[in-house]
Structure 1
């Protein structure tokens, strides 16, 4: 499995389709903040203004644009930058939306209609990775056509055509398609603006990227700094300095954090013993593993498993 797929698979990325909208002026919607999600809005038709909390300037979204609110921040969307806002719950209630068809606001045909496809990408609780943490507040993907984003245009157009309609299986098709959008968007970001950002520079770097890929292929190996450096094709000193410069942490810090994510998943999703989980995470001492795990998640492995699986069921 490639590096990006490995990271997103461990974080248990799941797409959730919300609804398709038909917004007719005047309109303004305030979307609250939410943890462990990245929200997305695709402009299937028309245009609108997006403002993300913590970002000074509003963003104009044109037809065919995709915006991903990467860290689930509060944000607003409206037909004019100064339009008054209603919460999304108010909008849904006022429209009498039942979850079927489109969410219609205002009189259709009375003005400039904006059709949106909205949803989110959810991550497991406690699932984290520097690549996700270092994403900007939002990703804006635009200018579809004969570019590398042609795949995304086709995917989102299909979602817009299926979402909320009466076609048999249409909602399921839209739901499943949303699960690939985040991966595609991150891949586009990695090959564009992301190459200048911390962590992303490391992922695409010839030497550090090679080292990361090998760590992910064999996380339980008894890695040393010398072994990592040889794998990267650099001297020990050059590797350590380059890794820290591009990733914002030491190689050992990265390896430890990744191993803890593997341990978290195995505790929740399998019935392996604590010792087996420790070995799968690269630790041959259950006590040493327990200390590191507690430092990361503020609870012992057995307690963490019990809290995450109160009914005793494997996720």
Structure 2
């Protein structure tokens, strides 16, 4: 990402209005599984793998994600999921112990001694299979947060894939130290570090997704941000360029120039992108039918929606949904 786009993200991040909640330090022995119900609107759970490896089951998406040490997973829309130690089946008889260490709630499986706090780096035997730091990001003004609406169901930041992997590793390690080795001010420090982590998650996602970067550029400017928010709130509306210019309080020509300056397509072409982004969520994550999805994103018939979807994704909606859930 170039310097200009980094400046856009610096402008955008404070406007997202997110409150981090660092809540749990989890220590799991082999064969542990922890289900999580769908979160209320505006609550986005996150998991940081600080040692070991994990699998995250997303039943609504029919997907399994594999997380290694240093990886971070954000579920922007609070989808239900199950976290489990990798490679083994859950042991239903294993109990969880709990205690509050003054910073977070510590949870550990009953097959572990309370003193266990990390997987040994020398590879020596240990019953600890997975160490996690878990929490949630609470988004304020969810209905007016178009970037949140355009994020996917799962954002997986892989430590091994990041150009700034050492920075991510240092940040994760520092959060872990504040949580596992509590000192005065630990809760406040962990919260501030989690806010920085959220921005890194957002940056990592935007660097790998061109459409997301375009949205970031538009949202960083008040006039175009009003247009994006209007499109996300009501994607089914038969918007005209005049109506979008009214939303931005700009002339039509100035609005088009503003979109181009943000690296985005023309406003009505961007509306088509928004509709396709939301269509994927309706189809894959929410399991809506083609007819329901078409109506939600502004198409009068399934055939018209299917043609538009195929032009955008080079696959029919049903084939895309099946591949996403494979």
Is TM-score (shorter-chain normalized) higher than 0.5?
yes
2:60 to 32, 54, 67: 54
Taking structure 2 as the reference length, the TM-score comes to: 0.61
Check the 8 A contact 1:211/1:228 in 2, yes or no. no
Correspondence for 1:228? 255
CA 1:112/1:248 → structure 2, altered by over 3 Å: closer, same or farther? same
Check the 8 A contact 2:26/2:107 in 1, yes or no. yes
1:32 to 28, 37, 40: 37
Check the 8 A contact 1:19/1:99 in 2, yes or no. no
Which runs of no fewer than 5 residues in structure 2 stay unpaired? 1-5, 117-125, 228-246, 277-326
Residues 210-238 of structure 1: CA deviation (Å, up to 9, x unaligned): 6963626999973232221244459xxx8
For residue 45 of structure 1, give the secondary structure of its aligned residue in structure 2.
strand
* TM-superposed deviation, 1:175: 1.5
Runs of 4 or more consecutive aligned structure 1 residues displaced over 6 Å after TM superposition: 217-221
Q: Distance in 2 between matches of 1:113 and 1:153?
A: 19
Determine whether 1:129 maps to 2:145: yes
* TM-superposed deviation, 1:72: 0.9
Q: Distance in 1 between matches of 2:195 and 2:149?
A: 19
Q: Distance in 2 between matches of 1:136 and 1:210?
A: 18
* TM-superposed deviation, 1:17: 0.6
Determine whether 1:175 maps to 2:200: no
* TM-superposed deviation, 1:166: 2.8
1:1-315, aligned counterparts within 5 Å? 3-35=8-40, 36-80=42-86, 83-84=89-90, 94-100=96-102, 102-105=106-109, 106-108=111-113, 111-144=127-160, 147-192=163-208, 194-195=209-210, 197=211, 200=212, 202-203=214-215, 209=217, 213=221, 215=223, 222-232=249-259, 239-248=266-275
* TM-superposed deviation, 1:176: 1.3
Check the 8 A contact 1:164/1:171 in 2, yes or no. no
Q: Distance in 2 between matches of 1:71 and 1:217?
A: 21
Alpha-carbon RMSD: 3.4
Taking structure 1 as the reference length, the TM-score comes to: 0.63
* TM-superposed deviation, 1:60: 1.6
CA 1:30/1:228 → structure 2, altered by over 3 Å: closer, same or farther? same
Correspondence for 2:311? none
Check the 8 A contact 1:165/1:171 in 2, yes or no. no
Check the 8 A contact 2:27/2:107 in 1, yes or no. yes
Q: Distance in 1 between matches of 2:65 and 2:248?
A: 46
Q: Distance in 2 between matches of 1:147 and 1:27?
A: 32
CA 1:44/1:229 → structure 2, altered by over 3 Å: closer, same or farther? same
Q: Distance in 2 between matches of 1:81 and 1:20?
A: 21
Q: Distance in 1 between matches of 2:250 and 2:12?
A: 19
